[in-house]
Structure 1
Amino acid sequence: MTQLIQIQGEHPLAGPPANGFFSIPVRTPQSDGLTMPAEWEEHDACWMVWPCSRECFKGVLPEAKQTYAEVARAIADFEPVYMLVNPEQWTEARNLLGSAVTLVKATCFDSWARDSAPTFVRDKKGKVAGIDWVFTGWGHYPITGPCDEGMAIEILRHLSMRRYTAPFILEGGSIHVDGKGTLITTEQCLLDPKRNAGYTKADFETLFKTYLGIDTVLWLANGLEGDETTGHVDILATFARPGLILLNNCIDPDDANFAVTQDAKQRLAGAVDACGKAIEIAEIPQPAPQKWNGERMDLSYINFYIPNGAIIMSSFNDPADDQAKEIMQQVFPNRTIVQIPSLPLFAGGGGIHCITQQQPSGTALPPF
C-alpha cells in the first residue's frame, strides 16, 4: 500500500517544485502499520561505527577510539553490539574492542551511528524495519568529501531487513520519541533552510506521522551552544518515560545556554503529550563549559544511551558528575548506571547517544 505525501518546500533530491508543492507516492511505515518504539524498550542489538576521521576528532582520534571501545564494551554487558569497521582498521578495532563486540566490514567515512544508521520501526506483531533518511553530513555544512549516507543501506542489507526511504533530510539525533505517539525536536535543526528548504512545522508533523507514527510534536527552539549539528535535541532534552522529559539545566545567566534552558522550560510547562498527559521535567545539571582547540564543546549528561537494563552516560571530570549520576539513578531506579569519561567524543562533536543506534527487539520484515 502506498501513500501520497504532499509537502510545501524544496525536495532535498529533486529541488523546488513548480507550483510550490510536491507530491510523492511512496510505501511508508504508516501504510504498513509500523511505528518507532521508545529507546527504553527491549533491544536486539546496538549499532556503532568505528571512528576513522582525523578531521572530525581534531587531534584526539586515538583517545576517541579508546572511548568508543569503552562505550561498546559497556553496552555489550547488557545487549549485543555490532561495530561497522573499515577493513584496514579491522585488527586495530578487534584489539581494542575484544571479543564481546561483533565486527562488521563496511565502508565508513565517519562514526556517528545515531545520524547515519537507520531508524528502526516495528509493528504490533513485532516485525521490524528500518528507515533510511536522506543524510547530507548535517545539511548546513558544505560537503567537502564523502559522508556516511550509505550506512543505513549497509546495515539493513546485513540484517536482510526492509528499508523505507524517506524523501527528506533527517538525523536520528534531531528527534526523541516516547513510544506512545509523542516526539520532541528543535526548530533550529529541523527548520534549517540548508537541510529542507521551505519545509514548515506542519510538513514535519505530517512526515513524522507518516514515518514514525507520531501524533504530537513538542517543538523546542534551539539546541546548546557549541553543537556542531545546529540544534540536535539529544544533547538538550530526552524522554525518560511517557510524560517525563530530562532537560539540560543551565543556571548561569551569563551562559548562552541559560536562555535555551529557560525557553525550553516555558514551552514544556504548558505542553501535553499524545495521550493528553501534562509534561513533567526532571532537570540534569549542566557541566561547566570546556573548550577544545579554542571552541566550546557542547557538554551534556542528556546525551546517554539506554541498553537493556542500564544507562550508559558521560562524565567530564566535573563536580556535577556525581550529582548527574544520582539523578539518573532516581529517574531509572531499576537500571544499572554506568558512567564513562567522554571528553574525546565531545571534542569530535557529540556524545554517547550520538555514536549509538538501538535495534528494537523483533523479527526482520523482509525487503520489498
Structure 2
Amino acid sequence: MNERIRRKEGACRKLVQIVLCLLVSINLMGNQILTANAKETTYTFPDENQKHEGTWLIWPHAHTYGKAYARSIEPIWIEMVKALAPGEHVHIIAYDQKLKKHIVSKLNEAGVDRNQVDFVIAKSDDVWARDTGPMFVYDAQGQLHIVDFGFDGWGKKTPYRKDDRIPQTVAKATGIPRIDVSKFVLEGGSVDIAADGTVLATKSAVISKNRNPHCSQAKAERYLKKYLGAKKFIWLEGVTDEDITDAHIDGFARFYDAQTILTVPEEDFFDLYENIKASDYDTLQEATNASGERYKIVEVPLTSKNVTGLDYKGSYLNYYLGKEVLLLPVYDDANDQTAVTIMQNLYPDHTIVPINVTALYKNGGMLHCVTQQQPLSQAE
C-alpha cells in the first residue's frame, strides 16, 4: 500500500512539473511575441523636396547594350554631374575600375570638382538608378537605412540580375544598414510619395500580371506602409505593356507638395498611352490628401510634337530636384521654354538646368529615372 502511495505521489510530482514547464513555456512565448512586436519598425521615405546629401547615378557602360548605346547617352551624365556637383555630393556607380578611370577623365575635362564626386564599383545591367539603385529611408530614430526591394527587369522584360544586387553593394560600401524586402518587387519610379505620406501610383506598375502578380492591393499597401511610411493611397489603374515600365507614375504625375499635384492637361493625358482610362484622369482631378483636402492641380504640357525619331510626345514631369538645381528634361521642342518657365515659377530658389534627353528617352526614361537622392543624415 505504501509503495502504491509513493508511486502516485511521484506521478503527481511529475505531472506538476510538466504543467509548470508548460506554463513557463507559454509565458516565454508570450514574452517573445511582445518583444517582437516592440521591435516592429516603420520606415519613412523622405520627401524629395527636402535638401539632401547627394545624388546617386549609375554610369552608362557597354557591357549590356554595346558601345554605341553608352556613347549616345554619356553626355547627359556629364551634364548632370557638372550641374549637381557645385551644390552636393555625386555618388557614381561604375561597372569596373576601367570605367571609373574613363569617368574621371571625362569629369576632369568638364571641370568638375572631384572633391564632390565619389565612386562605388558595382556591376550593373543598365542606368536606371531610380528603379535599381539604393532607396534611402529613416527608421523611427531618424537613422538612415537602405530599403532593398526586389527588382526583376520591370517584369522580366530586360536583364536584371546585376541591377538587383546594386543596393547590397552600396550598403556594404557605405556602411548604411540594408533592409531586405526582396520578396516584394518595387521600382522607385513606380511610386511618388508626398510629405504627408500620401502615395500616388499605378496598379499596372506595382500589382499586375507583370509585377507582384499574386499580391493583393491590401498586401502591397502593407509593404508600402511599413517600409516607406505610406499613410494614404491614390491608385490609378495605369496601362500594361505599352511601355517597359507599365506606366510609371513619375512620367505624368508628381507631388509638388502635400497640397499640389503636377500633371499634364486633359488633352495630353490621353496621348500618354493608347489604352489609358478616363477614370484615371478623373481620379487625379478628384484626389484628396491625407488631411482630406482636394489637391490643387498644376498642368505641365507634353511636347508640342512627337519627339524626334519617336512616335510619341515627351514629358517634362520626369525632372530631378537637386539641392540647388532642377534638372529638366527637354527635347528641342517648342514647349521646352514653357516647361522652363513653369518650373522656375514653382522652384524660384533653384536654378533650372535644361538637359536634352532625346537619346535617353528613346530607351525608356528621362532624368528622374536615372537619379536617386540620398537624404541628409540625422547629424546633418
TM-score, normalising length from structure 2?
A: 0.80
Distance verdict in 2 for CA 1:252–1:230, change over 3 Å: closer
CA–CA distance in 1 between the matches of 2:67 and 2:285?
39
What SS class does the counterpart of residue 315 from structure 2 fall into? coil
Alpha-carbon deviation of 1:344? 1.5
1:248 Cα offset (Å): 2.9
Matching of residue 148 in structure 1 with residue 163 in structure 2: yes
Q: Say if 1:57 and 1:64, in contact at 8 Å, map to a contact too.
A: no
Q: Is the 8 A contact 1:175 1:184 kept in 2?
A: yes
- 1:91, CA displacement in angstroms? 2.1
Structure 1 residue 77, shift from structure 2 partner? 2.5
How far 1:72 sits from its partner (Å)?
A: 2.0
Aligned positions of 1:64-143 closer than 5 A? 64-86=73-95, 87-98=97-108, 99=114, 100-123=116-139, 125-141=141-157, 143=158
Q: Contact 1:82–1:101 at 8 Å: present in 2 too? A: yes
Aligned to 1:35: 44
Between structures 1 and 2, the one with greater strand share:
1
- Higher-Rg structure is 2
Equivalent in the alignment of 2:318: 303
Match of residue 334 from structure 2: 319
Residue identity matched to 1:219 = W
Please point out which of 275, 290, 310 is paired with 2:307: 290
CA distances 1:84-141 after superposition (whole Å, capped 9, x unpaired)? 1122212221122232532322222211111111211114643111100101111141
Aligned counterparts of 2:252 and 2:332: Cα–Cα separation in 1 = 20
Structure 1 window deviating more from structure 2 (72-81 vs 52-61): it is 52-61
CA contact (8 A) 1:227 1:297 kept: no
- Render the CA deviation track for 1:9-65: whole Å, top value 9, x for unaligned: xxxxxxxxxxxxxxxxxx99x933431111111211111111114755894431201
Q: Name the structure 2 match of 1:24.
A: none
Displacement, 1:275?
2.4
Partner of 1:93: helix, strand, or coil? helix
SS in 2 for 1:195: coil
TM-superposed deviation, 1:274: 1.5
Secondary structure in 2 matching 1:251? helix
Q: CA deviation at 1:269?
A: 2.3
Relative to 1, partners in 2 of residues 1:337 and 1:261: Cα closer, same or farther, differing over 3 Å? Answer: farther
Q: Are residues 148 and 118 of structure 1, via their aligned partners in 2, closer, same or farther at CA, if it must alter by over 3 Å? A: same
Q: Any idea what the Cα deviations from partners look like across 1:246-276, whole Å, max 9, x if unmatched?
A: 1133626983548748544310222211222
Please list, as runs of the form range in 1=range in 2, the aligned pairs for 1:154-173 lying within 5 A after superposition: 154-166=169-181, 167-173=183-189
Between 124-133 and 236-245, the greater mean CA deviation after superposition: 124-133
Find the counterpart in structure 1 of residue 216 from structure 2: 200
Within 5 Å, give how 1:217-256 maps onto structure 2.
Answer: 217-222=233-238, 227-249=243-265, 251=267, 255=271
Which one of the candidate residues 224, 227, 233 is aligned to 1:211? 227
Match of 2:25 in 1: none
Moved over 6 A (4+): none
Counterpart amino acid of residue 358 in structure 1: Q
Contact kept, 8 Å, 1:249 with 1:261, in 2: the verdict is no
Question: Structure 1: which amino acid aligns with 2:195?
Answer: G
Partner of 1:323, secondary structure, is helix
Structure 2 residue aligned with 1:181:
197
Relative contact order higher in (CA < 8 Å, ≥ 6 apart): 1
For residue 12 of structure 1, what is the aligned residue in structure 2? none
Whichever residue aligns with residue 94 of structure 1, its letter is V
Equivalent position amino acid for 2:106 in 1: L
Q: What is the letter of the counterpart of residue 145 of structure 2?
A: A
1:261–1:53: structure 2 CA closer, same or farther, 3 Å change rule? farther
Separation in structure 2 between the aligned mates of residue 361 and residue 114 of structure 1, nearest angstrom:
18
Counterpart amino acid of 2:102?
Answer: E
Q: Contact conserved, 2:152 with 2:160, CA < 8 A, in 1?
A: no
Q: 1:252 to 1:108 in 2, by over 3 A?
A: closer
Q: Which residue of 2 aligns with 1:265?
A: 281
Tell me how many residue pairs correspond in the alignment. 334
User: Structure 1 residues 32 and 146, CA, compared in 2 at 3 Å: closer, same or farther?
Assistant: closer
Structure with more helix by fraction: 2
Question: Equivalent residue of 1:32, what SS?
Answer: coil
The DSSP-based 3-state class of the residue aligned with 1:40 is coil
Structure 1: any 5+ residue segments left out of the alignment? 1-26
3-state SS of 1:272 partner? coil
Determine if the alignment matches structure 1 residue 50 to structure 2 residue 59: yes
Shift in CA distance, 54/64, structure 1 to aligned 2, threshold 3 Å: farther
How well do the aligned residues superpose, as a CA RMSD in angstroms?
2.7
User: Within 2, Cα distance between the matches of 1:33 and 1:146?
Assistant: 28
Counterpart of 2:293 in structure 1 is 277
Report if the CA contact (8 A) 1:250-1:257 is conserved. Answer: no
